Structure 1
Amino acid sequence: MNKLHIETPLIESLLLNKSDSSEVWLKMEALQPTGSFKIRGIGHACQIYLENGAKAFISSSGGNAGLAVAYSGRRLGVPVTVVVPRTTNQRAIDLIENENAKVRVVGDSWNEAHVFALDLSDKKNAYLHPFDDKHIWEGHASVIDEVYEAGVKPDVVVLSVGGGGLLCGVVEGLRRNKWEDIPVLAIETVGAKSLHTAFKAGKHIGVESISSIATSLGAKKIANRAYQLLSEHNIYSHLVDDTDAIRACNSFLDDHRIMVEPACGASLSAVYDKCDFLKDKKSVLVIVCGGVGVTLGQLKDWSAGACLH
């Protein structure tokens, strides 16, 4: 099976490292063909569904997941329909349509688009969930495989959490490479704290609404498997403000000349600001998840709105 994702660079960042006694490694998923890590899992899942007889792909995401499905469909020669809510910006729709996918605008929220997309799916029209699919987790796990093959064993993996698909994949990757001892620092913004809410409550609950500018973290409830992992793996939940995430996006653009969206800035913020969980860690791996939900103009507007100068 030919991979639809690429092997991304793993680079040491001296600019994120504020201490001579530790090292920070960046897994540059922002450089994937679709601009985010999503193509790893979704590309893998699309190939499996195609092998199992799917004739079309259905998605319900107007963000990174929808773009990954559209890209996979174009590469595999399979028609794609992406259902998006009315809140989806035109740029996202244009990016998806540029991959020759059909876009349908339904409902005022992802949940409504999700339900509509499910009604379109059947054995011949495979539904690609944005994050809750074992095949997607299997594909995401490859990000850890590449770090393992590079000979870099970190003391902690830092990543952002929306619905928990990347978290599930990273833990699977750690396990299959015999790195079960490595903890995960899971970052969310205060306005999108689905995992943190479940973590604190000790039960699989979600949030009523999303108020964060980091819309890619906007799942009201994490996947059941992600919740289960809270009791199976050493996962520490940490929150940052939108302002911190935006500041980290700006710093990362200055330091590494790569633009990422606030969802990615959230995890970078925890490293820039050296959250307490990282203080005794000698080797830190950050999944730079990327994201296409940002332009230079947006970043400037967000920065001005957050009074970042």
Structure 2
Amino acid sequence: MTLHIQTPLIESRPLSLAAGRTLWLKLEALQPSGSFKLRGVGHACEVHHARGARHFVSSSGGNAGLAVAYAGRKLGVPVTVVVPETTSTRAIELLKLEDAQVVVKGSSWQEANQHAQGLLGAGDAFVHPFDDPLLWTGHASMIDEVAQAGLKPDAVVLSVGGGGLLSGVVEGLKRNGWHDVPVLAVETDGAASLHAAIAAGHPVELPAITSVATSLGAKRVADQALACAQNHPLHSERITDHAALQACERFLHDHRILVEPACGAALALAYAPERLAQYNNVLMIVCGGATATLEQIRDWLAA
């Protein structure tokens, strides 16, 4: 038994019509913690637990922290999640629902992460939100499920924040022999750390995150994410916050699932069909986002 579930893989009629080609959805928003993060985080927590960890510590204002909290509750291991001051009340409520101890520290994830590292003691395991080979191996399982279903897509569309999902999907493509399947890596303007790293040829730190898609808000992408861009067919795509938010609203209407702007970034390509013109069968990773609210999305759209 794994802590994550096997999620549905469905052909989306509304998105296929919008894009003018067949679009398949891997519905990671339906994981128990609300996002794909549970695959990698669950795997990491199970490994740490087997090695004797008695306490999990994480730094995340959202989906990774929720996944650690869920995993800890299921494994019977106490969890501390350090979140930055920018974390929404909704996210903190959800963390507490999973019995996590929440510590609010710092104005950014980097500061929260530094504080979390200082809390580590004997018997504690630190669970990184995105930069850990254990996470990538866990995330890769979603591609295993697609392969088992008999679908080999012409391309995979996903959102990129710190690069954990990208690293896991590329690992999954490679271990299923799909070295030729390109990845369309989507970021919002104002959170495009992968795009900046590709342009520079090495990871660079953005001066600030100015996108509403805060789950994509890693100022510096993981080294492994850039390695994926350099060693696997990959196209870096950027879209506006407005397009991501509109995609969230349209996807809610089309599939009755509410996702956060970070996920809307990837979905936006379905509603901009020229971005997918060279592919017939496209797999979109619906990564989810438990902290999204329709009220917040509409407030951002109105701003």
- TM bucket, shorter chain: over 0.9
Task: Give the aligned residue type for 2:68.
Answer: V
Q: 1:243 to 1:133 in 2, by over 3 A?
A: same
Q: CA deviation at 1:19?
A: 7.2
Equivalent-residue separation in structure 1 for 2:119 and 2:8 (angstroms): 38
Q: 1:156 to 1:118 in 2, by over 3 A?
A: same
Q: Identity percentage over the alignment?
A: 57
Contact persistence 1:195–1:206 (CA under 8 A): no
Task: Give the aligned residue type for 2:26.
Answer: K
- TM-score when scaled to structure 1? 0.96
Q: Which residue of 1 is the match for residue 11 of structure 2?
A: 12
Q: 1:3 and 2:23 equivalent?
A: no
Q: 1:84 to 1:14 in 2, by over 3 A?
A: same
Q: Which residue of 2 is the match for residue 210 of structure 1?
A: 209
Q: CA deviation at 1:243?
A: 0.3
Q: Which residue of 2 is the match for residue 130 of structure 1?
A: 129
Stretches of structure 2 that go unaligned for 5 or more consecutive residues are none
Q: Which residue of 2 is the match for residue 279 of structure 1?
A: 277
Deviates more, 1:220-229 or 1:155-164: 220-229
Task: Give the aligned residue type for 1:304.
Answer: A
Q: Which residue of 2 is the match for residue 235 of structure 1?
A: 234
Equivalent-residue separation in structure 2 for 1:251 and 1:21 (angstroms): 16
Task: Give the aligned residue type for 1:298.
Answer: Q
- TM-score when scaled to structure 2? 0.97
Q: Which residue of 1 is the match for residue 59 of structure 2?
A: 60
Task: Give the aligned residue type for 2:233.
Answer: N
Q: Which residue of 2 is the match for residue 145 of structure 1?
A: 144
Q: Which residue of 2 is the match for residue 265 of structure 1?
A: 264
Contact persistence 2:20–2:273 (CA under 8 A): no
Aligned residue for 1:107, secondary structure, equals coil
Write out aligned runs for 1:1-309 (5 A): 2-18=1-17, 22-122=21-121, 124-276=123-275, 278-305=276-303
Aligned residue for 1:6, secondary structure, equals coil
- 1:58-100 Cα offsets, whole Å, 9 max, x none, are 0010200000000000000000000111111111111101111
Equivalent-residue separation in structure 2 for 1:97 and 1:53 (angstroms): 24
Task: Give the aligned residue type for 1:30.
Answer: A
Equivalent-residue separation in structure 2 for 1:203 and 1:48 (angstroms): 31
Q: CA deviation at 1:112?
A: 0.8
Equivalent-residue separation in structure 2 for 1:19 and 1:70 (angstroms): 37
Task: Give the aligned residue type for 1:69.
Answer: V
Equivalent-residue separation in structure 1 for 2:203 and 2:259 (angstroms): 30
Q: CA deviation at 1:254?
A: 0.7
Q: CA deviation at 1:21?
A: 6.8
Task: Give the aligned residue type for 2:282.
Answer: V
Q: CA RMSD in A?
A: 1.2
Equivalent pairs, count: 303
Equivalent-residue separation in structure 2 for 1:75 and 1:275 (angstroms): 44
Deviates more, 1:184-193 or 1:89-98: 89-98
